[in-house]
Structure formats: structure tokens, C-alpha cells
């Protein structure tokens, strides 16, 4: 694999990398100066640059960031940037590294992103379980304010930006952008029906862009180095680098910044990355992009590259980059149970198919694992899944169905082993004939 510049993780190993001094000593806030000081860049120029770079949303959906910014209408209404730090997709632990080791990169990226959409207010929505990160990010925001990088008239540019760090209460669904908006407004964290889309009617009914931490963190580098430099990394449709959180029985689990297009084989077995499976464990399967994407068999895993197209080709998704490696010592039904229990617990309960379906899937798998499964349970699981897919406001239902259906499809023998043999139904023999019935 060719050498590539570290964009997101360059400062992680530096001592006190979370402080403003260290960040600036390594060129930090240079992109902001470049864009905001006189003769710098207009908001439209920043947006076009990011659009041109091919940067795609790193929260899971992979929607082109610059295009999303372009949906913000040119109105007199206030505009908001909400940075989604509600990282809660099981298997994903990348944003926390950025916030822990390089919070200023996220802040600088947020300033540039806010500037690009003409927002003067930016919220960082951090999941409740990341309590210590709220403090860390808040400290960094305070430092930036003290230095005049936030607040009124940043660097004399005339551009104002207020940044507020908000701590969520710990619900998976608040990572869905409209759920996040509801939560931030003080409502129950439940996704909103679309249309209208948040870019038009979002936070406090104003145009709102919700971007993932990793997405905004890539913006300073793009502003500094240009779109072409970013596009030079990765593949045609998947540009730049991606943080890849690897968990499971590999020798070196952890966060890796990988160039898009890196073969999964290289990631799992490469010297620079995970260095192979633990001794005595063979690769059985892999969930590449967080627990909600379809699982891959070992063979499929090794045939995939880390880019949007390659995963799509193999029927799964790049998602958030929460890569869960599964060894041959793991039971797929038990693993699926953990996944389904999670979605059952986290369904907000608004839409009927998801509210009832996630619980029903969990219930069926639960009885199978207790040895009380019924002959047609696998068909039932599949049918419930089909009826949940695509019928709800947000994609939480799909997120539960995709692992459920792919686990059963690809590892059917493990599930069938839990079920009783199919039996012919007993013939019904009435014990009392009609003539003998009491009158």
C-alpha cells in the first residue's frame, strides 16, 4: 500500500495533543486563518472545495458532504450546524479518539463547516456516556474562545460563531439526525418525519446541517491541502481516509486511519494494522461498518476493500467504520442475540413496525436460544424482517433487520441447529364423537 498522509490521526501520539498550544504548534487553525482572513475564502468557496474533494458523511450514510451543505436554502432564517458526536453504533469508537486526542481539529472543522453554510451557531452533541469527553471538548472550546477563534468577529473577519457543547442522555436514536435535533430542542429523542428535511426545516425550524465528528474533522486538511490532494487518496468514489475501529479477536484491535480502497485482508493481517487473528482463532465473519450492516463471511471479508463501492458490491455497507471481526469460536446466534437485544432496547417506539418488530425478532431468537424454538422460526424471522424494512420513519428498523437476515442467511446451519426437527402435524382425533356429546 502506498504511503498516504495521516489526516485525522496525525496528532494522536503527540503529548498533550488535546491542547490548543500543541495543536497550533503543529499547524492547527491554519485552515481557519486561510479561509477567514481577508482575501481568504468565501463560504461558497469552502463549500465548493469540500464538494470537489468528494468527502462523504462519515456517520454511516456516506452522503457527499458538500452536496448536503448545498441544500441549505438562502433565507433570512438562522442556520445551525450540529456536530453529531453521539457515536453509539455498536463497534464504533472513532469519534471519541478525535475528541479525546484532537478536539481542536474538530472545532476548527466545525468553524469552517459553519462558515460554509453561513451558520452563526454550532452545537456539539456528545452522547451521555462520553461524560469525560464533554469536559475535554468544553475545555478546548473555552481555549478557542479565549484565543478569539470563537465568538464575535473571528480574526477580524466579521464572522461570528457561538459554539455550545451539549451532553445527550444516552440514546442510540439520538444519533439519527432528526432524533438529535428533537433531543437538542428538549423533546423526546425521536426521529422526525421527512419531508421536510433538516437542511430546510431543522433545529428550531431553521435550516440545519448535522455532520459527523469525523466528517468535519477532515475539513481543515482539505482547506489546507486542496481538493485534489484529498482526492489523490482512495478510490474514485471513495476519497480520502477513513477511521476504522477494529474490535474482535485480532492481535492488535484499535483505531486505524486507512486510505480508502485498502483491502480488508491488509487491514486484518497487515503488519501496519491488526497483524492477524489471535493464535488459535480463525476468521469466521466480519461486520464491517457497525452492527447495523449486513455481516460478511470470511471469504467475502477478504475479498472486500474498504471503500463504499466494494462493500456495496458484496451486499453490505461501509457504515460508520465500526469493524467487528468474528472468530470461529463465536456463536453467530448468540452474537445476533446481542445485536437484536440492542435494537429492541433502543427502538424509540414511534413507528409500529419497528416498535413491535424489533421486540418480536428479539423474542424469537431468545426462545430459540432457550431451546424453545419452533420449526418455522427462521422463516418467521425473515418474514418479520421483510415487513420492517423500509416501512418506518428512520432506518433503525432496517438496522435491526440487516444483521438479522444476513446472519441467518449466511450462517443458517448454526441457527437450524437450535430448532427442533420438523414434524408432521399430528392427526386430530376427536376423543368424543358427536353422538356421545352431552345434550
Distance CA 383, CA 404 (A): 11
Taking a C-beta distance cutoff of 8 angstroms, is the pair 350, 191 a contact? yes
Closest CA relative to residue 138, chosen from 165, 108, 104 = 165
Q: Would you call 169 exposed, middle or buried from its count of C-beta atoms within 10 A (0-12, 13-18, 19+)?
A: exposed
Residue with smaller CB distance to other proteins, 231 or 355: 355
Residue 410 CB: number of other CB atoms within 10 A?
Answer: 16
Residues in contact with other proteins, shown as a per-residue x/- string from 190 to 219 under the rule CB under 8 A:
---x-x------------------------
Residues 310-349 that bind other proteins (CB under 8 A): 344-349
Taking a C-beta distance cutoff of 8 angstroms, is the pair 179, 59 a contact? no
CA angle at 243 for the pair 238 and 246, rounded to the nearest 5°: 120
- Give the length of the chain: 439
Alpha-carbon torsion angle 149, 59, 268, 342, nearest 10? 130
Residue with smaller CB distance to other proteins, 309 or 356: 356
The sign of the CA dihedral 427, 433, 438, 439 is positive
Distance CA 283, CA 100 (A): 31
User: Is residue 405 close enough to count as binding other proteins by CB under 8 A?
Assistant: no
Residue with smaller CB distance to other proteins, 375 or 390: 390
| Cα end-to-end span (Å), the chain | 87
User: Is residue 5 close enough to count as binding other proteins by CB under 8 A?
Assistant: no
Which one of 352, 412, 417, 420 is in contact with other proteins (CB under 8 A)?
Answer: 352
User: Is residue 353 close enough to count as binding other proteins by CB under 8 A?
Assistant: yes
User: Is residue 291 close enough to count as binding other proteins by CB under 8 A?
Assistant: no
User: Is residue 34 close enough to count as binding other proteins by CB under 8 A?
Assistant: no
User: Is residue 188 close enough to count as binding other proteins by CB under 8 A?
Assistant: yes
User: Is residue 350 close enough to count as binding other proteins by CB under 8 A?
Assistant: yes
Residue with smaller CB distance to other proteins, 181 or 348: 348
Closest CA relative to residue 161, chosen from 125, 123, 121 = 121
Stretches 23-31, 33-41, 240-248, 355-363: which one binds other proteins (CB under 8 A)?
355-363
Residues in contact with other proteins, shown as a per-residue x/- string from 365 to 384 under the rule CB under 8 A:
---------------x----
Which one of 247, 278, 359, 419 is in contact with other proteins (CB under 8 A)?
Answer: 359
Residues 129-148 that bind other proteins (CB under 8 A): none
Residue with smaller CB distance to other proteins, 121 or 176: 176
Cis omega before residue 303 (within 30°)?
no
Tell the smallest beta-carbon distance from residue 390 to other proteins (Å). Answer: 5
Residues in contact with other proteins, shown as a per-residue x/- string from 47 to 86 under the rule CB under 8 A:
----------------------------------------
User: Which strand (E) or helix (H) includes residue 323?
Assistant: strand 322-327
Stretches 247-255, 285-293, 306-314, 352-360: which one binds other proteins (CB under 8 A)?
352-360
Cis omega before residue 434 (within 30°)?
no
Stretches 73-81, 114-122, 322-330, 390-398: which one binds other proteins (CB under 8 A)?
390-398
Judged by the rule CB under 8 A, the positions of this chain that interact with other proteins are 171, 188, 193, 195, 344-353, 355-360, 363, 380, 387, 390-393
Amino acid at each position: 500500500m502506498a504511503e498516504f498522509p495521516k489526516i485525522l490521526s496525525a496528532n494522536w501520539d503527540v503529548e498533550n495533543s488535546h491542547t490548543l498550544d500543541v495543536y497550533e504548534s503543529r499547524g492547527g487553525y491554519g485552515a481557519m486563518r486561510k479561509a477567514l482572513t481577508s482575501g481568504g475564502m468565501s463560504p461558497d468557496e469552502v463549500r465548493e472545495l469540500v464538494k470537489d474533494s468528494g468527502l462523504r458523511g462519515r456517520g454511516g450514510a456516506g452522503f457527499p458532504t458538500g452536496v448536503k451543505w448545498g441544500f441549505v436554502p438562502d433565507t433570512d432564517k438562522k442556520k445551525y450546524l450540529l456536530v453529531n458526536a453521539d457515536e453509539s453504533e455498536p463497534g464504533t469508537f472513532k469519534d471519541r479518539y478525535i475528541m479525546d486526542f484532537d478536539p481542536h481539529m474538530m472545532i476548527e472543522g466545525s468553524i469552517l463547516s459553519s462558515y460554509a453554510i453561513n451558520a452563526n451557531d454550532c452545537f456539539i452533541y456528545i452522547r451521555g456516556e462520553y461524560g469525560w469527553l464533554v469536559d475535554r471538548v468544553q475545555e478546548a472550546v473555552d481555549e478557542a474562545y479565549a484565543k478569539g477563534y470563537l465568538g464575535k468577529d473571528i480574526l477580524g473577519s466579521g464572522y461570528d460563531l457561538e459554539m455550545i457543547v451539549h451532553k445527550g442522555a444516552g440514546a442510540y436514536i439520538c444519533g439519527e439526525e432528526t432524533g438529535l435535533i428533537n433531543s437538542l430542542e428538549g423533546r423526546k429523542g425521536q426521529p422526525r418525519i421527512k419531508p421536510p428535511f433538516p437542511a430546510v426545516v431543522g433545529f428550531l425550524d431553521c435550516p440545519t446541517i448535522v455532520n459527523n465528528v469525523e466528517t468535519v474533522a477532515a475539513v481543515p486538511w482539505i482547506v489546507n491541502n486542496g481538493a485534489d490532494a484529498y482526492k489523490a487518496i482512495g478510490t474514485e468514489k471513495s476519497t480520502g481516509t477513513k477511521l476504522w475501529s477494529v474490535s474482535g479477536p485480532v492481535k492488535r484491535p484499535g483505531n486505524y486511519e486507512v486510505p480508502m480502497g485498502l483491502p480488508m485482508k491488509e487491514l486484518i493481517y497487515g503488519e501496519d494494522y491488526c497483524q492477524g487473528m489471535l493464535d488459535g482463532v480463525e476468521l469466521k465473519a466480519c461486520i464491517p461498518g457497525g452492527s447495523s450492516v449486513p455481516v460478511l463471511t470470511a471469504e467475502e471479508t477478504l475479498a472486500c476493500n474498504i471503500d463504499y463501492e466494494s462493500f456495496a458490491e458484496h451486499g453490505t455497507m461501509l457504515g460508520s467504520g465500526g469493524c467487528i471481526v468474528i472468530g470461529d469460536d463465536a456463536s453467530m446466534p448468540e452474537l445476533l442475540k446481542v445485536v437484536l437485544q440492542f435494537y429492541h432496547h433502543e427502538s424509540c417506539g414511534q413507528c409500529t413496525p419497528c416498535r413491535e418488530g424489533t421486540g418480536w425478532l428479539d423474542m424469537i431468537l431468545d426462545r430459540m436460544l432457550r431451546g424453545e424454538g419452533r420449526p418455522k422460526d427462521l422463516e418467521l424471522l425473515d418474514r418479520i424482517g421483510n415487513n420492517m424494512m423500509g416501512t418506518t420513519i428512520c432506518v433503525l428498523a432496517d438496522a435491526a433487520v440487516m444483521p438479522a437476515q444476513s446472519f441467518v442467511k449466511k450462517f443458517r446451519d448454526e441457527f437450524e441447529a437450535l430448532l427442533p426437527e420438523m414434524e408432521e402435524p399430528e392427526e386430530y382425533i376427536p376423543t368424543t364423537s358427536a353422538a356421545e356429546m352431552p345434550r
